[in-house]
């Protein structure tokens, strides 16, 4: 069995049902008209006659349907099929007219010759209508399939992009964790070398709290911003133990943080790390770090500003932490968050603008 013939067979049930409905409506209309004229025709016989009359149309419309779907462009085949079917249909209708008398070719030919022009015009109109309906159905289905395919491609592309972004974010997060741990352990090692066991023990306790938060936060994409600020405070407190009176930290506006405002996990610690890098690590004098938070219904800005010692040599680049932070903002907030750095003669500022709510 060829693929085309099998396709016609699969399409037949739908077309059979459609033409059966047409035959039923036509038979009912003729029967109703006969009743109005005080005649009582046999309804079953009438229905059988119209089923026979419309039988070829089932095969025609099914073949036409397949032709529209399988052949590109279909118009030459459609024209050939329609012209051939129209001739066969007229002969078939003549056969139906002559079948009650005899089936001699002369009788069929006579019936065809004497067939009223209105019958031929009705067949022609039905042929054109069938072509129009089948074309419309195929066009609508083809467009729906194209739209569905486009949606599937868009969905697949979106899933791929999300997977790539998640992979990238996980890579950035993995890069951040050892960097944070290295800086925290470096702070404690300085205390141990200074032979201050009490401060070293306090620092270890603070490191324990930092690690407890970090190991919890690293498994989550989003955490409360208030928790992030608390983590930032703990980290700076650890650095204050390391640098002593050389590091002064000031906080402003922490109460403006909304309870339902979330941020990326481990987002703010690189700001403190950067402030240490550009400030107290480059100076033997007192350095200051200012953490200022301003929040409203539209979002929150977090500014971390550190003093820069006069005459200090330039510190090259933004460092791994800030570069990673900028990438995480782009991925996590889809371009809605921003990071701005400002270099002044005596200060270095980093300002984050975080939208509320973030895009899931």
With CA atoms as reference, report the closest residue to 82 among 113, 100, 60, 58.
Answer: 60
Check if the beta carbon of residue 289 is closer than 8 Å to that of residue 317.
no
- Find residue 223's DSSP bridge partners: 263
The arithmetic mean of pLDDT across residues 291-310, rounded, is: 88
How many CA atoms are closer than 13 Å to the CA of 294, on its beta-carbon side? 6
**Tell me, what's the pLDDT at 182?**
64
Check if the beta carbon of residue 41 is closer than 8 Å to that of residue 31.
yes
Q: 201 vs 181, 205, 247, CA distance in Å? A: 17, 6, 20
d(CA 216, CA 174): 14
Check if the beta carbon of residue 279 is closer than 8 Å to that of residue 289.
yes
pLDDT in tens, 272-284: 888 888 888 888 8
The arithmetic mean of pLDDT across residues 14-26, rounded, is: 84
> At a CB cut-off of 8 Å and minimum separation 6, what does 350 contact?
271, 274, 275, 303, 304, 305, 322, 339, 340, 341, 342
Q: 274 vs 109, 184, 187, 247, 319, CA distance in Å? A: 100, 13, 14, 14, 8
- Find residue 295's DSSP bridge partners: 300
Q: 129 pLDDT exceeds 50?
A: yes
pLDDT in tens, 50-68: 888 888 888 888 888 888 8
d(CA 357, CA 262): 8
Residue with tokens 């240490």: 276
**Tell me, what's the pLDDT at 214?**
78
Q: 174 pLDDT exceeds 60?
A: no
CATH class of 164-355: alpha beta
- Find residue 250's DSSP bridge partners: 290
Query: Which segment of 116-130, 233-247, 320-334 scores lowest on mean pLDDT?
Result: 320-334
pLDDT in tens, 311-334: 666 555 556 668 878 888 888 888
With CA atoms as reference, report the closest residue to 64 among 83, 84, 86, 81.
Answer: 81
**Every domain of the chain and the residues it spans:** 3-152, 164-355
pLDDT band at 251 (very low <50, low <70, confident <90, very high): very high
d(CA 19, CA 145): 25
Q: 185 vs 15, 181, 248, CA distance in Å? A: 78, 6, 20
**Tell me, what's the pLDDT at 172?**
47
Query: Which segment of 192-196, 241-245, 283-287, 291-295 scores lowest on mean pLDDT?
Result: 192-196
Radius of gyration of the chain (CA): 42
Tokens representing 203? 């620092």
Q: 46 vs 24, 41, 43, 51, 53, CA distance in Å? A: 9, 7, 5, 9, 11
The arithmetic mean of pLDDT across residues 326-346, rounded, is: 87
Q: 157 pLDDT exceeds 80?
A: no
What is the end-to-end Cα distance of the chain in Å, rounded?
A: 53
**Tell me, what's the pLDDT at 2?**
57
pLDDT band at 301 (very low <50, low <70, confident <90, very high): very high
């Amino acid at each position: 069995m060829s693929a085309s013939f099998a396709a016609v067979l699969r399409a037949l049930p739908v077309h059979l049902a459609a033409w059966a409905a047409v035959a039923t409506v036509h038979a009912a209309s003729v029967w109703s008209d006969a009743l109005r004229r005080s005649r009582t025709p046999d309804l079953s016989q009438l229905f059988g006659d119209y089923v026979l009359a419309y039988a070829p149309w089932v095969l025609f419309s099914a073949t036409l349907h397949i032709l529209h779907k399988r052949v590109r462009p279909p118009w030459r085949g459609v024209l050939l099929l329609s012209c051939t079917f129209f001739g066969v249909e007229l002969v078939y209708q003549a056969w139906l007219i002559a079948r009650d008398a005899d089936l001699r070719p002369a009788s069929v030919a006579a019936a065809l010759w004497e067939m009223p022009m209105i019958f031929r015009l009705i067949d022609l109109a039905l042929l054109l209508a069938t072509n129009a309906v089948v074309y419309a159905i195929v066009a609508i289905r083809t467009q729906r399939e194209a739209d569905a395919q486009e949606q599937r491609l868009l969905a697949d592309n979106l899933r791929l992009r999300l997977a790539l972004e998640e992979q990238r974010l996980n890579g950035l997060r993995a890069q951040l964790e050892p960097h944070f741990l290295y800086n925290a352990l470096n702070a404690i090692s300085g205390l141990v070398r200074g032979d201050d066991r009490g401060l070293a023990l306090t620092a270890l306790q603070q490191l324990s709290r930092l690690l407890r938060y970090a190991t919890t936060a690293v498994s989550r994409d989003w955490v409360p911003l208030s928790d992030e600020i608390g983590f930032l405070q703990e980290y700076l407190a650890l650095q204050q133990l390391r640098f002593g009176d050389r590091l002064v930290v000031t906080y402003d506006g922490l109460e403006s943080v909304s309870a339902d405002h979330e941020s990326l996990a481990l987002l703010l610690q690189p700001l403190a790390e950067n402030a240490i890098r550009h400030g107290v690590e480059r100076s033997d004098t007192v350095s200051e770090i200012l953490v200022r938070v301003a929040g409203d219904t539209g979002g929150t800005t977090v500014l971390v500003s550190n003093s820069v010692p006069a005459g200090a040599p330039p510190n090259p680049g933004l460092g791994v932490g800030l570069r990673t932070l900028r990438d995480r903002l782009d991925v996590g907030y889809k371009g809605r968050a921003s990071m701005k750095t400002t270099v002044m003669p005596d200060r270095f500022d980093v300002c984050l603008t975080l939208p509320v709510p973030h895009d899931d």
